[in-house]
Amino acid sequence: MEKKVYSIDGKELRTIELNDAVFGLPVNEDVIYYAITNELANMRVGTACTKGRAEVNGSNAKPYKQKGTGRARRGDKKSPLLIGGGTIFGPKPRDYGYAIPKKAKRLAMKSILSLKAQDEDRLVVIEDFTVETGKTKDLVKILQSFVQDERAVLVLKDDDAMLKRAGRNIPTLSFLTYNRLRAHDLFYGRKVLMLESAAKNLSSFYAAEGAE
């Protein structure tokens, strides 16, 4: 698959050959769903906690005698039936995380990349650049040639600290490196901007994994 490579000014420079085994696969919607659900589950902190009947502070004594009052026959004030009593089957701290097969994760990433690559406007390859000043305004000047007030993902070739510093004040922009992709960010990004080196590395990285 051939893709155009653009300059930071939005001008077409050349074309790049992308691996069809990574960017040209049939889209598997099921495995994309499983990968995104897995990521969201692993992000849950699971700290919700309620007190049961045995954990609520209070007396164990019955509030009045069993018979002769004409009132309901019930136990102490810690009963779940009363305000301030324990909670029945309430949540307790737990780990919501789980693992899915590595092959499923890889297929999900390749399916999302293939989905984005089907549309010329949703996957854009840009020449390698950085923002040496680390200033947001310098990055915005570059991005305005490709993104118009929409959620975007910038895929990097490495952990560029200055580039991430420049983009941390842009709420609609998220950063990924080619070997640490996240299915949720990649799928819901309306536009995927990819550095040329990152695109080349992706073609070899996921193709090599598929050959194992």
Provide the pLDDT for residue 72.
85
Provide the pLDDT for residue 120.
80
Provide the pLDDT for residue 28.
94
Question: Global pTM?
Answer: 0.82
Provide the pLDDT for residue 154.
93
Provide the pLDDT for residue 112.
94
- For the chain, residues with pLDDT lower than 70 are 208-212
Provide the pLDDT for residue 209.
58
Please write the tens of the pLDDT for every residue from 89-114.
999 999 999 999 999 999 999 999 99
One DSSP character per residue, the chain reads: -EEEEE-TTS-EEEEEEPPHHHHSSPP-HHHHHHHHHHHHHHH---------TTTS-S--S-SS-SSSS-S-----TT-TTSTTSPPTT------------HHHHHHHHHHHHHHHHTSTTTEEEE-----TT--HHHHHHHHTTT-SSS-EEEEESS--HHHHHHHTT-TTEEEEETTB--HHHHHH-SEEEEEHHHHHHHHHHHHHHHT-
